[in-house]
Structure 1
């Protein structure tokens, strides 16, 4: 039985990944900080799909919590065939306005955690000859306006590097670059203003993003941008001079 581990599974894209993967026949391991919310989702998913739904409570910015998840990912007795590095958040402020503690936490969750968990997962996957890592990046990776954008650009580059090194192993690495998504990500006090700043047509649903991402994993595609609109936007941003994509405004997606 295939097992998928999803970080940031208590809401938004993570919850949608849990549903779609379980519906497709995967047992799921759900990782987040909130035990109550995770347990609620796990119970409903298991009851509705008949698949196993394991709860693993951990804060990925905490070294001990991250190591607990890494140990589970690498457990040969209960192998994980798909690792979904989805956990993330935004600061909603510029580097000069943030604290070191805020920036360190952002780095730990967006960069350190995906690297650590991928490093834990891949040896077993390669030994078994199959498996996949799916990293949730962002269209913001094409910008240069925040540490969030810089971290998401790293996720894309990291995924591409892994994909090259995994060639011929039966294991793949995929990065999905969603744009604006209608989830709780933009419900915080720092980011809620974005709901009014951008037209409804620009907002993707979690279903759209997750469906596109999992289809890319099945194809072995390295980078995917859900929706043609954001695909064109990403292509355009890559062609612009860097000075035009930099700015003091913070996280956009």
Structure 2
């Protein structure tokens, strides 16, 4: 599981450990990762392997891919969760940051899915869960483009691997209460409470959808409706609404 030290990744680790699964946790933050591992071992009596890695580094990514695809230590469920956002527009931000976003949320997903998918296909079982976003159906900057790749890639891979007993699911949550938006310095104060999701609910719903073999998981009824609308809405309208929302997110934080 990537991005395991915080947010949805941490919640996936907790819920999978609660269900009795041994874990391989991947992240950059040593203190958080080792602290989580110690907690899960003590509380749930599962085995937890810690892998410190920066997935934007190709050598470190290759090391994680080797572990994921190791036939002697099989991984039954790969969770590609690592990611980050930005409140800056594409051309106003640093190109290096956008390249890092591609490396982390596109290339790493591709490389690890290739490693895990090949090993799972050979065994005739397994599952891959890629954390995408409702943004993959909208027009919300470079992040939307990245997540659109994750969703479509997951659907294509699911079709390829289905005859071999392997499932692939893209989970597309909306706004979730985690550290994600604070780290991206996004002002979310104007977002209605009804649009916020809780991490435990998102993780529980997506894991249930993985068990059911669903290819796309959209937690919560309001977001299921929204995705249905986005799929049929004229792209001009989608762009207009997204532009308005983006302007609100980039607004300065209120004083105080």
- TM tier, shorter chain? over 0.9
Do the aligned partners of 1:39 and 1:55 also contact (CA within 8 Å) in 2?
yes
1:235 alignment counterpart: 228
Aligned residue number for residue 159 of structure 1: 154
Give the whole-Å Cα distance in 2 for the aligned partners of 1:100 and 1:66.
21
User: Could you state the TM-score of these two structures normalised by the residue count of structure 1?
Assistant: 0.94
When the two structures are superposed, what TM-score results if normalisation uses the length of structure 2? Answer: 0.93
Which of residues 107, 111, 116 is equivalent to 1:116? 111
Equivalent residue of 1:166, what SS?
helix
Give CA deviations for 1:59-86 in whole Å, capped at 9, x if unaligned.
Answer: 1111112111101101112110100000
Corresponding residue for 1:134? 129
**CA–CA separation in structure 2 for the residues paired with 1:86 and 1:223:** 15
Aligned residue for 1:54, secondary structure, equals: strand
2:197 aligns to what SS in structure 1?
A: coil
Is 2:171 the partner of 1:176?
Answer: yes
Aligned counterparts of 1:181 and 1:242: Cα–Cα separation in 2: 25
Aligned to 2:254: none
Q: Which runs of 5+ in 1 are unaligned?
A: 1-5
Tell me how large the CA RMSD over aligned residues is.
Answer: 1.4
| Aligned residue number for residue 13 of structure 2 | 18
Residues 84 and 184 of structure 2 are in contact (CA less than 8 Å); yes or no, is this contact kept in structure 1? Answer: no
Aligned to 2:32: 37
Contact 1:93 1:250 in 2 (8 A): no
Partner of 2:58: 63
